[in-house]
Amino acid sequence: MKIAIIGTGNVGGALASQWSKAGHTIFLGVRDTTDFKGKELLENARTSVHPIPAAIAAAEVVLVASPPQFAEKQAAIFGDLNDKVLIDATNAVRTKPENYPTAFHAFEALTEAEVVKCFNSTGFENMQNPSYGDQKLDMFMAGDSSSAKATAVQLAKDAGFENCYDFGDRSKVELLEQFALAWINLAIFQGQGRGIGFKVIRR
């Protein structure tokens, strides 16, 4: 797939690297192509840097991993997202877009993309390496678009996760963000450390 990464920090960088290893083509979308976080990502195969609208124009899939309060301004500069999948990896648990409860809702309202919430429920270290011994962590998603969810499942597996479970439709987006807060609480506030993750097991 051709994937634009908007937000080249920890989460965007981890997924850019994992997807590059899996054979995808990565377009880093940044405001300043000469000075941006994650320059080392250009050492990955099939990875290039572009202004944000150009990166999106070249891609089939757009991952947004930037602060959620910028969602409305970003939507205004993204350009044509018709027939593209937009994956919202943000968490509006501390800061939110001005007029929407989450970035997902902003992107859904302000763009023509097929939007899915995914890659928000664990730390970037687990995206760099989802393997725990002989087990792999699971990923989770929410939204109304079946095509976007299918893309999220494939990309979760390509990033090394065992499964990508469906939390439900758009009404479960905020629940999925609270699920992310549960990981933050355990890992950071309760001192369990960032080397923990979620996996669904069955009897």
Q: What is the pLDDT of residues 49-66, one digit of tens each?
A: 999 999 999 999 999 999
Q: What is the pLDDT of residues 152-197, one digit of tens each?
A: 999 999 999 999 999 999 999 999 999 999 999 999 999 999 999 9
| Encoded tokens for 94 | 């501390």
Q: What is the SS3 assignment for 116?
A: strand
Residue 87 lies in a domain: yes
Task: Report d(CA 200, CA 122) in Å as an integer.
Answer: 14
Tokens 């320059």 locate to 39
Length of the chain, in residues: 203
Task: Report d(CA 131, CA 109) in Å as an integer.
Answer: 36
Query: Which CATH number goes with the domain that contains 142?
Result: 3.40.50.720
Residue 184 lies in a domain: yes
Q: What confidence score (pLDDT) does residue 94 get?
A: 84
What does DSSP say about strands 164-168 and 25-30: parallel, antiparallel, or unpaired?
unpaired
Tokens 């097991």 locate to 201
Residue 197 lies in a domain: no
Q: How many structural domains is the chain composed of?
A: 1
Structural domain of residue 138, as residue ranges?
Answer: 2-189
Q: What confidence score (pLDDT) does residue 72 get?
A: 97
Residue 194 lies in a domain: no
Handedness of CA 142, 126, 2, 77 (dihedral sign): positive
pTM: predicted TM-score of the whole model, two decimal places: 0.96
Residue 34 lies in a domain: yes
Q: What confidence score (pLDDT) does residue 89 get?
A: 98
Closest CA to 58 of 4, 113, 136, 137: 4
Percent of the chain with pLDDT over 90: 99
Residues 85 and 116 sit within 8 Å (Cβ to Cβ): yes
Residue 14 lies in a domain: yes
Residue 40 lies in a domain: yes
Residue 199 lies in a domain: no
Residues 198 and 162 sit within 8 Å (Cβ to Cβ): no
Percent of the chain with pLDDT over 70: 100
